[in-house]
Amino acid sequence: MRVDGVPYRTIWPAEDGRRVRVIDQRALPHAFRIAELASLADAAEAIADMWVRGAPLIGATAAYGVALAMVEDPSDAGLARAEDRLRRTRPTAVNLRWALEAMRAALAPLRPERRAAAAFARAAAIADEDVAINRAIGAAGLPLIAAIAARKRDAPVNVLTHCNAGWLATVDWGTATAPIYRAAEAGIAVHVWVDETRPRNQGAALTAWELGRHGVPQTLIVDNAGGHLMQRGAVDMVIVGTDRTTARGDVANKIGTYLKALAARDCGVPFYVALPSPTIDWSLQDGLRDVPIEERDPAEVTDVLGRAPDGRVGPVRVCPDATPAANPAFDVTPARLVTALITERGVCPASAEGLAGLFPERLRA
Ligand code: MRU
């Protein structure tokens, strides 16, 4: 996608082929900064401290993290150390594990001296694959928006989204936003209700920024407004992303997603989840029981990051000092509340049968 007319991905190799550049999402929306990752430690820090975030981008960064590690130490022990270090960064997005397994499969059979070049090539392929997948998700989701647009004639289609499952969360295009960008390109009038997404405000900081850059009409709302808007007919559909979807269609996503799904069900609003296949955890069935939910620093709840009138960006305490806080970062929406999944192979029911219909090779795996 474009930033001030310049096409960007969220992650790309530097010219020397031995370092990696990312959009530093900690600075957005107040500044647009590029950060350089020069080592395994940098890549691990970038994921854990959320310079990069979003399940597909976490996966791509982990892949490049392995490549950086192979420059430092391409031995078997070096490969194992890289996997271990990166695996411990964030627990919920299964794309991380998927990318590490893909890197191991490509690198383990090779002699150490060949691993660094092969690792950069495999990481680049993972990044390219993510872009192609998200494009396909956009194509698969477009008819869902177009059908509502046809019913509404010239009135805009109101889409509610939670967190940032946009191009900043992937290598390009986004998952939940891909059908929205496709619809906007196709001349369909769309308007997005952007949940601010406490505590880290990925909606306010990131989704609002990227939709604004691309001229997509939007309105920022507090997280608790969605149900009210749905009751009044102001939301035509919900589209969110996911960090891990089980083989039977339970969906782990940013904390608060479940409440949106409940409200959508009560109000008869379709609730869609857009996801690339590397986000499916075929080894899990019961999302509520089995998906590991990341607990993050309570300081993200007690202190909000923002820009003061003097232009300085910093944390602001929003509660009495020493207030105990909890910060579960994700929740699980049971498959029964999901209208359908939008994948790169098409749209399917959120069920074991639905997913197996689109990915039959998984039945044989
Ligand atoms: O904590 P984050 O910002 O990494 O959480 C991101 C989300 O919850 C996204 O919805 C999800 O990763 C899908 S991104 C295409």
3-state helix, strand, coil in the chain (%, to 5): 45, 20, 35
User: What's the CA gap between 163 and 206, in Å, rounded?
Assistant: 8
| Spatial CB neighbours of 41, under 8 Å, sequence gap ≥ 6 | 85
pLDDT tens, 270-311? Answer: 999 999 999 999 999 999 999 999 999 999 999 999 999 999
Distance 302 CA to ligand 1 centre (A): 21
pLDDT band, residue 157 (cuts 50/70/90):
very high
The closest-lying atom of ligand 1 relative to the alpha carbon of residue 90 is: 4
Distance 352 CA to ligand 1 centre (A): 23
The DSSP code sequence of 22-54 is EE-TTSTTT---EEEE-SHHHHHHHHHTTSS-S
Over residues 317-334, the mean pLDDT reads 98
Closest CA to 97 of 294, 281, 332: 281
Q: Is 89 touching ligand 1 by the criterion CB < 6 Å?
A: no
Higher pLDDT, 121 or 153: 121
Catalytic sites, residue numbers: 243
Over residues 52-60, the mean pLDDT reads 98
Over residues 220-247, the mean pLDDT reads 98
Q: Is 53 touching ligand 1 by the criterion CB < 6 Å?
A: yes
The DSSP code sequence of 236-282 is SEEEE--SEEETT--EEEETTHHHHHHHHHHHT--EEEE--GGGEET
Burial class (CB in 10 A: 0-12, 13-18, 19+), 32: middle
pLDDT band, residue 365 (cuts 50/70/90):
low
pLDDT reported for residue 1:
86
Distance 54 CA to ligand 1 centre (A): 4
Beta bridge partners of 299: none
Q: Is 239 touching ligand 1 by the criterion CB < 6 Å?
A: no
Over residues 12-28, the mean pLDDT reads 96
Above pLDDT 90, what percent of the chain? Answer: 97
User: What's the CA gap between 67 and 39, in Å, rounded?
Assistant: 9
pLDDT tens, 187-218? Answer: 999 999 999 999 999 999 999 999 999 999 99
Q: Is 70 exceeded by the pLDDT of residue 269?
A: yes
- Continuous segment of H or E residues that includes residue 2: strand 2-3
Please say whether the beta carbons of 60 and 171 come within 8 A: yes
**Residue of 24, 51, 53 with the most ligand 1 atoms within 8 Å of its CB, for mutation:** 53
Q: Is 70 exceeded by the pLDDT of residue 364?
A: no
pLDDT tens, 125-140? Answer: 999 999 999 999 999 9
The closest-lying atom of ligand 1 relative to the alpha carbon of residue 274 is: 15
Q: Is 287 touching ligand 1 by the criterion CB < 6 Å?
A: no
Q: Is 80 exceeded by the pLDDT of residue 340?
A: yes
Distance 220 CA to ligand 1 centre (A): 18
Q: Phi and psi dihedrals of 226, rounded to 5?
A: -55, -45
**Residue of 50, 172, 253 with the most ligand 1 atoms within 8 Å of its CB, for mutation:** 253
Q: Name the H helices within 73-157.
A: 76-87, 95-107, 112-152
pLDDT reported for residue 34:
97
Q: Is 90 exceeded by the pLDDT of residue 163?
A: yes
User: What's the CA gap between 261 and 238, in Å, rounded?
Assistant: 8
pLDDT tens, 249-261? Answer: 999 999 999 999 9
Q: Phi and psi dihedrals of 6, rounded to 5?
A: -100, 130
pLDDT reported for residue 146:
98
- Mean residue pLDDT of the chain comes to 97
Closest CA to 282 of 106, 141, 97: 97
**Residue of 202, 296, 341 with the most ligand 1 atoms within 8 Å of its CB, for mutation:** 202
Please tell me the pTM assigned to this model.
0.97
Distance 241 CA to ligand 1 centre (A): 7
pLDDT tens, 107-127? Answer: 999 999 999 999 999 999 999
Q: Is 90 exceeded by the pLDDT of residue 44?
A: yes
